[in-house]
Structure formats: structure tokens, C-alpha cells
Structure 1
Amino acid sequence: MARDWKSLVDQMLDNARDAGTFDNLPGNGKPLHLEDDSHVPSEMKLAHKMLKEHDLTPEWIMQGKDIDALRERLLADMRKGWRLFQGAQADADRSNMPLHNRKRNESTWQRTQETYRTTALRLNREIMTYNLKVPPGFPHKALFDVERELQRLMNLT
């Protein structure tokens, strides 16, 4: 049924095209301008248009993408580290020296968390710099709360 309608509509369009119905439409033969810049504040539209025409990206946009990538990488590393810690603790429980191995694993996990905190500090410095550069009207990025993310990870299991 749907195929019949489609072929009927296609046939009607073909007939109209053959009859020249679409030949004298305004803008015929000109490129379509499909860019939507409604997200750009009015005072930034000219600058945005010029940058876009010359295939340039403002530095703050590139920095924002770098921040997003670093945030995702840190979260992925934290998830992986937590899974490894849990696996190591399960292995320790099956070992012939469970107490010793669990303590060693916990010590390693503490050091690993410190590397996450250091990376989060660097990420938050980047975010603060980004938030100072972003033009008015564009949203700021929230700081990365490493302690909240660690708690969230540990509470999932």
C-alpha cells in the first residue's frame, strides 16, 4: 500500500518535472544556503560567517573539544581502573595470602586515585581558562568533580 502511494507521488513529480513546472522557481540554479546559525548571538553572526567561509574555527571552540575529549578519557580511565581494582581484589581473595594482596591492591588503588585527582586538576584549569574565553551567550563548562565521580563509580558495585 505504501509503495503504491510512493510510486504515485513519484509519477506525479516526474510528470510535473517533464511539464516544466519547476523550471521558473525563484533561486533556480543557485546553491542552497542550509546553514543554521540561530545558535550564534546576533553580534557574532558576521564573525561566525567569515570564520566559516574561510574554514577556520575559533580557538575557544577547539579548546572546548579538547576539554570534552580529556573529560571522557579521564572517565574511561577511572572506570577501567576501578574494574581492575575489583578484579585484583577478587584475585587476592582466592590467593594464599589474601590479606597481604588486598592491602597491596588498596595501596595501588590509592596511588591510582591520586593520578586521577592530578589529571582532574589539570582538566579544571583548562575548563576555567575556557570559561574565561567563551563569548557571552555560550554556555560555560562545569568543573570536573573527581571525588563525586569516584564515589559514583564505587557505589555502582
Structure 2
Amino acid sequence: MNIDDHIRQAQEQGAFDNLPGQGKPIRLENNPYAGEQGLAFDILQQAGFLPSWVEERHSLEAEMNQAITKLSRAWSQVEGDYRRDPLWQKAEKKFRQESLRLNQAIRTYNLKAPAGIPHLIELNVERELVKLRRLSPTY
């Protein structure tokens, strides 16, 4: 069974019914110089689809922001010397572990992303900790 047969079978089973944008014209006026690949990307984007590497990048950026936000919340609850605060120590340890996991995922993503796409920058634990400490006037 070739690809055309699979598409025909999916059409018969209604797999393409009720898709977003059904019955609406395809907008082709975006960038006349983008070429076929750019046009294909625009059509997929209008239909709500993104290349897997774009979705992965969004996911990694969200996870990095979430990890930093959790660390910031823990920092805001520190009372006294942060080096002796058990809740802060636990939060910092968890952030370090999460950073290791995220940085490995970022390295993998950077290898998969197409050429010419800016790489994601790994989380720098020490830099994030310094930023938090600078926010507090007592440390």
C-alpha cells in the first residue's frame, strides 16, 4: 500500500473531516519569495501544526522558565541565612538536578534543530543563583 492509498483510505474514513480552516481559501500571499518550503511551513502553521523542533523548543523554554520561577519563589520565602535554610537548600538541590536534565535535553535539541536556527542556551545554575541573590538587599 503506497502513500496515495493511505491518504485515500483516510479520506474515506473521514480523517480529514472537520479540520480547522476547512472550506476556507489557503492564504498564499504571505511571502512570494519564501519558496515551496516556506509556503508549506505557512500552510502548516495556519492549520495549527508546527515542526517538531519548534514545538520542542517552546516546551524546553517553558520548562526552563518554570524551573527558574520555582527557584525564585523558594528564594522569596527564605528567612535569615539562606545557607542554613533547609527549604532553600532543598529547592536549590532540586533546581540543580532539573538543570542537569534540561541541559541534556537542550544539547539534544541543538543537535536536531535545522542549520541556521539559533541554539538554545543551557541553564547556568550559578548565574541564576547570583541573579537571585542580587535581588535581595540583605545578601
Give TM class, smaller chain. Answer: 0.5 to 0.7
Identity of aligned residues (%): 29
Q: Which residue of 2 aligns with 1:122?
A: 101
TM-score calculated relative to the size of structure 1: 0.59
CA contact (8 A) 2:106 2:120 kept: yes
In the alignment, structure 2 segments of 5+ residues that lack a partner are 1-24
Q: Distance in 1 between matches of 2:90 and 2:32?
A: 47
Q: Distance in 2 between matches of 1:73 and 1:44?
A: 33
Q: Provide runs of 4+ in structure 1 moved above 6 Å.
A: none
Q: Distance in 2 between matches of 1:126 and 1:140?
A: 12
Alpha-carbon RMSD across the aligned residues, in angstroms, is: 3.0
In the alignment, structure 1 segments of 5+ residues that lack a partner are 1-29, 90-101
The structural deviation recorded for 1:125 is 1.3
The structural deviation recorded for 1:129 is 1.3
- When Rg is computed on C-alpha atoms for both structures, the one with the higher figure is 1
Task: Return the match for 2:72 from 67, 79, 82.
Answer: 79
Secondary structure of 1:142's counterpart equals coil
TM-score calculated relative to the size of structure 2: 0.65
Q: Distance in 1 between matches of 2:109 and 2:56?
A: 7
Higher percent of residues as helix: 1
Q: Distance in 2 between matches of 1:103 and 1:58?
A: 43
Looking at both structures, which has the greater relative contact order when contacts are Cα pairs under 8 Å and sequence separation is at least 6? 1
